[in-house]
Structure 1
């Protein structure tokens, strides 16, 4: 008889873990509290024809994502058409804008135009970033991180200096570039890692390579196509999905999980993989069986939450790209509001995704699909009045860029999403959007463990454990845990 595994949550790490565990020969059941797969990467379609991706919109590190499908004998092309965006994105400053081209040689010319010698410096930066990407994404991030001894391999040890694990990202970037705009451009990807560039290891320059060199992509039909494709893989492996099934408790006998409880009904399993919020999962356990107490979670540095708006505009907006970063204000001031002052920013930075520029199917004809995102501190109070205030701010700056007037009057669909929604929909600690920040003190072995130290058959996956936040790392996280649970159940 097959051993049974329950996977809690159907985000990218849950879909990945379920697929690999089923491939290994286990009977796998996925329990999802919402009515569709995807977690933060869900999609909703409005009655008037807008298709909004709710979460991730940057398709970076395509080789890592492709690797998941290759493990199951197929490719992303079997499920969706992937477009390489050109330009990749646009970055708006107070006095000019940078348009980031698809072609790397064009990017070099742009750097050289802004700062003499910066083209050669970009080559040096990216050569190092490529090496980090090769070691980091192919070796470093695939460890379960039980112990530092896992990294005592010749390739990793010999790479220690080249990986720049100790130096911080900001100082590292400043060694290559003097121009403030170029520095902001190179620091931008670090926002996804959830901390100031001053607190992120220079190792993560690998993200610049994974984005700017490998390119920024878009799956036609929206980012949710990746969720559907991964669910299809899981379906083909025999995974069974149970939607609208929130877990009430995890039951333990003699230091082993015996069952989960849903609406008074107990379901028995041989092991559990929790892809749900780590802190929330631990609340489903008796206190003595939790890995970490409240003091631990309150002492962690979390990646930001977000104010998001999904907006349908009944008019084509000229001069707006698929991805646009509004960096007219000071990055450090915004970051301080998130991590130091923990308040709403006075002069925010924000991001706009307009997928209808690439994909006519995500909006009605002659209309635009806008996804507006502003990073904010976790745990802060949000209400409709505050949300609307910042919507007005963001729309005003879009109007200034595009020359379009009275955007607010042209809205035919609007929905906001913020701290309280992340808490309600995903049980996210403090309403965080991206998990734990990838600071040096929260890297590898110093992240929350993928196994429960007091319960033999309970494992954790996702952005709050190794390797960290982001879509590709979450997919890798699922595979790591599936491998570990295979070792456990086969013993």
Structure 2
């Protein structure tokens, strides 16, 4: 088939490589002047740092998808972070997470002596949940809803307490509120509140211990160049600065696309973007239907500083005194948090080339509301100041006076770049926007129309989006095979 892919994010690039291996003729159209979607660099001309994702999770899942793309495993140039990260609490205490089980038990025994048996029970129980969850959910497409509502899946959802939120579920294991926060905050990786995201996403904190957290040499955005180079080697055409204005269809069948005002015929079209935008491309009139809930937004601060902090790890989280109140502000009242929580990425601790000699490259991510309730031109400087003051006080003495370059990115910037309501992770991973309830690889009964990306099942995060592209390729392969068999039968 001739296949057009709209969007050169990680989902579109991966899908292109997988579909090319099946023998299809693939062309990618990207509206921006660079491929990569959320995976870009920020730079002051002296150094560069990831603009978006920084934490590499589930490396075996990524390798499995690369294997299906026939890309050598060594192209995934990553090193393991151990310790995984520090969590800093408002009272001055901290908790460190490790991949090494012995070191983690020692840390728990010292910091939370009564919680070690709860941790052991959590890890034991989540092992089964993880194995079933990957097999029955992450690796499955639910375009046919009957595949989701099976007795086995419904039993698993009941057993994994998916109707509960992550924080409540974690609270069934850990009694200390600090540990409850430490093992529930990972829902923020995919833009969901720990107090609203289904319990099954508690698998993220389990997987960190088992599969580790990794750093990609040169930054995660460099992975885009690897995928693009393989696209070029294999004859996949990539057109940047090429905005698709319309997906054309006739009698419930895709016929092609309009790009930069011209029509191009295609047998199939794959949409790789924040899912609600597909309705505009199909020329559908806006209905009174409820719009999907967007994931959280992020205030991002990028810094080059002219000093180093030797004790600062690659990843760390700083939590406020009232964690739940902070989360309610972000996800419910849609207000700027008075006492923000934030994540700090410090690649220089693991990669000496991340910044010029004597300097530090820093990245701060602050969960904030998506949508249009906040005037970011008015609020961004004040919030950034709060974050830097707190970071200087708790982690990095002398931070503010050492800043040589600083840039702030807000949800308004993300929305201008095409992210749905400025949310950084697609649509929210709420109960009725997960699994079979989330948009699927075949989103509508239109022949030849497909979707992939963070807003599509199985969800957000680089390895999960790549797995979604693999699910898509298998769906298309199955449909092509079924159509071929039907043609043969009709000709007999």
TM above 0.5: yes
> Equivalent residue for 1:303?
295
Q: Is the 8 A contact 1:133 1:207 kept in 2?
A: no
**Aligned match for 1:478, one of 460, 469, 479:** 469
The answer to whether the Cα contact below 8 Å between 1:329 and 1:348 also exists between their aligned partners in 2 is no
- Could you say which residue in structure 2 is the equivalent of 1:110? 107
Which residue of the other structure, out of 217, 231, 236, is the alignment partner of 1:234? 231
Q: Is the 8 A contact 2:99 2:208 kept in 1?
A: no
Q: What's the CA shift for 1:295?
A: 3.2
Query: Which residue of structure 1 lines up, in the alignment, with residue 346 of structure 2?
Result: 354
Cα distance change on mapping 1:303 and 1:130 into 2, 3 Å: same
1:46-57 mapped onto 2 (5 Å cutoff): 46-48=44-46, 50-57=47-54
Aligned pairs for 1:214-225 (under 5 A) are: 214-225=211-222
C-alpha distance in structure 2 between counterparts of 1:160 and 1:328, whole Å: 32
**Structure 1 pair 319/401, CA: closer, same or farther in 2 (3 Å)?**
farther
What residue in structure 1 maps to residue 489 of structure 2?
none
Query: Residue 18 of structure 1 corresponds to which residue in structure 2?
Result: 16
Of 306, 315, 331, the match for 1:323: 315
2:141 is aligned with 1:144: yes
253-262 or 216-225, which deviates more: 253-262
Q: Distance in 1 between matches of 2:154 and 2:396?
A: 54
Q: Please provide the CA RMSD for this pair.
A: 2.1
Q: CA deviation at 1:474?
A: 0.6
CA distance in 2, matches of 1:473, 1:456: 25
Please give the per-residue CA displacement for 1:297-318, whole angstroms capped at 9, x wherever unaligned.
1xx3321011111111121134
**SS at the partner of 1:19?**
helix
Q: 1:329/1:192 Cα in 2 relative to 1: closer, same or farther (>3 Å)?
A: same
Residue by residue, what CA displacement relative to the aligned partner does 1:213-242 show, whole Å, maximum 9, x if unpaired? 211110111112322233334334432111
Equivalent position SS for 1:306: strand
Deviations 1:365-385 (A, max 9, x none): 111111111111111334344
User: Are the aligned partners of 1:80 and 1:225 in contact in 2 as well (CA < 8 Å)?
Assistant: no
The corresponding residue for 1:339 is: 331
Secondary structure of the residue aligned to 2:282 is coil
Alignment of 1:162-177 (within 5 A): 162-177=159-174
Matching of residues 15-164 of structure 1 within 5 Å: 15-48=13-46, 50-76=47-73, 78-95=74-91, 96-151=93-148, 156=153, 159-164=156-161
Give the aligned partner of residue 400 of structure 1. 393
TM-score, normalised to structure 1's length? 0.92
Residue 231 of structure 2 aligns to a residue whose secondary structure is helix
Please tell me whether the aligned partners of residues 313 and 411 of structure 1 are also in contact (alpha carbons under 8 angstroms).
Answer: yes
User: In structure 2, what is the equivalent of residue 189 of structure 1?
Assistant: 186
Relative to 1, partners in 2 of residues 1:402 and 1:143: Cα closer, same or farther, differing over 3 Å? closer
Compute the displacement of 1:60 (Å): 1.0
CA separation in 2, counterparts of 1:419 and 1:282?
Answer: 22
Are 1:334 and 1:348, in contact at CA under 8 Å, matched by a contact in 2? yes
Offset at 1:38? 1.3
Change (3 A) 1:63 1:154: farther
* Other structure's SS at 1:60 match: coil
Please tell me whether the aligned partners of residues 315 and 344 of structure 2 are also in contact (alpha carbons under 8 angstroms): yes
CA contact (8 A) 1:304 1:375 kept: yes
Following TM superposition, by how much is the alpha carbon of 1:257 offset from its aligned partner in structure 2, in angstroms? 2.3
* CA deviation profile, 1:77-130 (whole Å, cap 9, x unmatched): x22431111221111111211222331221122223233342222121012222
Please list, as runs of the form range in 1=range in 2, the aligned pairs for 1:353-392 lying within 5 A after superposition.
353-379=345-371, 380-392=373-385
Unaligned runs of 5+ in 1: none
The more displaced of 378-387 and 96-105 is 378-387
- What is the distance in 1 between the residues matched to 2:294 and 2:244? 24
Task: Check whether the contact 1:33–1:244 (CA below 8 A) recurs between aligned residues.
Answer: yes
Q: Deviations over 1:23-81 (max 9, x none)?
A: 11100011111222211011244322x111110011111111111122234444x2243
Which of residues 415, 420, 430 in structure 2 aligns to 1:439? 430
CA contact (8 A) 2:12 2:469 kept: yes
The match for 2:419 among 424, 428, 432 is 428
Q: What is the deviation of 1:171?
A: 2.4
Matches of 1:133 and 1:238, distance apart in 2: 38
Distance across 2 between alignment mates of 1:169 and 1:453: 31
Could you tell which deviates more after superposition, 309-318 or 67-76?
67-76
Whole-angstrom CA distance in 2 between matches of 1:34 and 1:231: 15
CA shift, 1:154, in A, is 7.8
Taking the aligned partners of 2:233 and 2:70, their CA distance within structure 1 comes to 12
| Counterparts in 2 of 1:439 and 1:403: CA distance versus 1, 3 Å | closer
Q: Aligned pairs, how many?
A: 480
2:490 aligns with none
User: Which stretch of structure 1 is more off in the superposition, 347-356 or 115-124?
Assistant: 115-124
Q: Which runs of 5+ in 2 are unaligned?
A: 484-492
For residue 313 of structure 1, what is the aligned residue in structure 2?
305
TM-score, normalization: structure 2?
A: 0.92
Query: Which region of structure 1 is more displaced relative to structure 2, 445-454 or 256-265?
Result: 445-454
